[in-house]
Amino acid sequence: MLGQRSFADLGTPLYDVTFVILDLETTGATAASCEITEIGAVKYRGGELLGTFQSLVNPGTPIPPTITVLTGITQAMVIDAPKIDECMASLLEFVGGAVIVGHNIRFDMSFLNAAATRLGYGKLPNRTVDTLGLARRLVQTEVRNLRLSSLAAHFRSPTKPNHRALEDARATAHVFFELLERAGSVGATYLEDLLRLTTARGRPHYDKLNLTDRLPRLPGVYLFHDVDDNVIYVGKAKNLRSRVRSYFYGDTRRSVTTMLRNLARIDHRVCPTELEAEITELRLIHAMAPRYNRRSRPPKSTSWLKLTAERYPRLSIVRTYRDDGGTYLGPFRSKKAAETVMTAIWDAVPIRRCRGGPGKPRSGACNYAQLGIAMCPCGGDIDEVRYAAVCEDVRAGIASDPERLLAPLADRMKSRAREQRFEDAALARDRFQALAASLNRRRHWQSLQAAGRLWVEDREGDSAFIDQGRLVSSWKAGDGSPLLNITDGDELDPTQVPTSVALQEEVQLVWRWINRPGARVVDTRSPFASPPRPVPSLEALAG
């Protein structure tokens, strides 16, 4: 059972954040050619006023008459005021590490950053919140426009904006705290939520954001439930809270909008390691088949490619794996994927393609035999010794020497490219890659089957206990290892290939984790090693 979570797990609650609400008056609209004439700021924490900063600033240049009309700041008012280089140190000390708030804050920050950079301070690192962006998210349909004056009137601010820095900062503060109350009503009660809310795209279901309040900042799996409590989506995350909340901040995909509309409850499972989160997600998707999951959904049907064990073996696509003496590749998510690999092997070796055999009634050899691209027994003149050598190439290519199958495909691609038959070259490339991937998956499976039980540790100290390719348990560094039974247990009964797509995908996740840089085998029941002859890359064979 998890202990009580700290604020660090949840983020920074808004009542614990220091805000400086700031406004500037300037000689114009562009920081590159204009200067600051007045600074006003108020500092709050937990709703309590902590301080006020106000100063006129001598811009060192004439104030345009239009600015004087707008702000009421005249040249005479700033003649004896300090210049920005005298004000900047005091302002930076007042702001400190607070979050800076303003209405159209990008304008104010452009002037502050330009001045700070020119004076050698560099750009301000403070995070910012824009009340204009908040208002656009939260009250756009309630007001005729989003100007500060309109928002201040809408929220009945006691201070009326008048284009003077301090009064505008105070009015902005009132608007800001009213908007914070609105944000809290849709679940934005932490600083990270507020920062994302101002820049969110689209119109997500903010009213459901509070469903994420109990999610920790830990790796794990999250499950979305609908009103009937059916699981409609399963996902994994390094940080559950951040990942789930990201759905509410403007993911404009139609499927996500529909999913959030149907969302009624969020469940989660904390996992000690990212590997366990990935595998838990995979297992849940295959067990529940949530309707909004597209990746890793269980296939409608599963196919294997089999080299049969008859007198003249042939390649056959089957729906069931059996220990019947045949040589298997797979499983494949679709019959089409299996056909691609089968065609790749046909292109590599002249193995039989038809179902006909010697002694069966047939009017001559099949088309494949007549074209000379396959050794089929249907013509009655097949050389059994030569055919046995072809079958041995297929068995060895699948089991131990993949270059026997892949090298002819690489040669085929090169020859088609030389002949400028680029579509045929691309087809040969795609078949090469499909076959190579299938061979790699088979070899990964058999290496893990042969090793049996493994205790593996990565460079961060996270560990996993794996039994014949399946994850049994995992734990983080410092948590102490569980009691592991590496050497005892039932005798292994390995299979040529995984018996389901779900098992194959889990094995691939385990294999990638074991082979990450810095991972090491702490203990094993039997030697763990990759096959001596790796599956060659297309570049290596075609180069």
- The residue out of 194, 229, 263 marking a domain boundary is 194
Return d(Cα 278, Cα 509) in angstroms, integer. 8
Q: Which helix (H) or strand (E) holds 349?
A: none
Identify whether residues 144 and 37 lie together within a single domain. Answer: yes
pLDDT digits (tens, 9 = 90+) for 198-256: 766 555 577 787 888 889 989 999 999 999 999 999 999 999 988 998 888 766 677 88
The pLDDT score that the predictor gives to residue 528 is 86
* Domain membership flag for residue 1: no
Secondary structure of 6-69 in HEC code, one letter for each residue: CHHHHCCEHHHCEEEEEEEEECCCCCCCCCEEEEEEEEEECCEEEEEEEEECECCCCCCHHHHH
Q: State the pairing for strand pair 99-102/128-130.
A: parallel
The pLDDT score that the predictor gives to residue 10 is 44
| Domain membership of residue 460 as a residue range | 442-524
Identify whether residues 13 and 34 lie together within a single domain. Answer: yes
pLDDT digits (tens, 9 = 90+) for 70-120: 999 999 999 999 999 999 999 999 999 999 999 999 999 999 999 999 999
Return d(Cα 530, Cα 131) in angstroms, integer. 58
Known catalytic residues are 163
Question: Lowest-confidence range among 1-10, 182-191, 298-307, 375-384?
Answer: 1-10
Q: Quick check: 254 and 201 in contact, CB under 8 A?
A: no
Identify whether residues 89 and 185 lie together within a single domain. Answer: yes
Identify whether residues 138 and 84 lie together within a single domain. Answer: yes
Whether pLDDT at 381 is above 80: no
The pLDDT score that the predictor gives to residue 277 is 94
Whether pLDDT at 493 is above 80: no
Whether pLDDT at 391 is above 80: yes
Identify whether residues 125 and 31 lie together within a single domain. Answer: yes
Amino acid at 261: R
Q: Share the mean pLDDT of the chain.
A: 88
- The residue out of 260, 288, 316 marking a domain boundary is 288
Residue at token pair 């300037």: 26
* Domain membership flag for residue 232: yes
Beta bridge partners of 475: 463
Q: How confident is the model at residue 184 (pLDDT cuts 50, 70, 90)?
A: confident
Number of independent structural domains in the chain: 4
Identify whether residues 43 and 171 lie together within a single domain. Answer: yes
pLDDT digits (tens, 9 = 90+) for 38-63: 999 999 999 999 999 999 999 999 99
Q: How confident is the model at residue 325 (pLDDT cuts 50, 70, 90)?
A: confident
Identify whether residues 419 and 315 lie together within a single domain. Answer: yes
Q: How confident is the model at residue 526 (pLDDT cuts 50, 70, 90)?
A: confident
Specify the higher pLDDT residue, 491 or 307.
Answer: 307
Whether pLDDT at 2 is above 50: no
Mean pLDDT of 463-480: 86
Return d(Cα 454, Cα 525) in angstroms, integer. 7
- The residue out of 161, 194, 227 marking a domain boundary is 194
The pLDDT score that the predictor gives to residue 360 is 54
Coil, strand or helix at 267: strand
* Domain membership flag for residue 536: no
Measured at the CA of 276, the angle between CA 272 and CA 277, to 5 degrees, comes to 90
Strand boundaries in 425-462, DSSP class E: 453-457
Q: Quick check: 340 and 317 in contact, CB under 8 A?
A: no
Identify whether residues 52 and 188 lie together within a single domain. Answer: yes
Identify whether residues 411 and 452 lie together within a single domain. Answer: no
Percent over 70 (pLDDT), the chain: 92
Whether pLDDT at 490 is above 90: no
Identify whether residues 180 and 316 lie together within a single domain. Answer: no
Identify whether residues 99 and 173 lie together within a single domain. Answer: yes
Identify whether residues 395 and 424 lie together within a single domain. Answer: yes
CATH of the domain at 219: 3.40.1440.10
The pLDDT score that the predictor gives to residue 80 is 93
* Domain membership flag for residue 506: yes
* Domain membership flag for residue 297: no
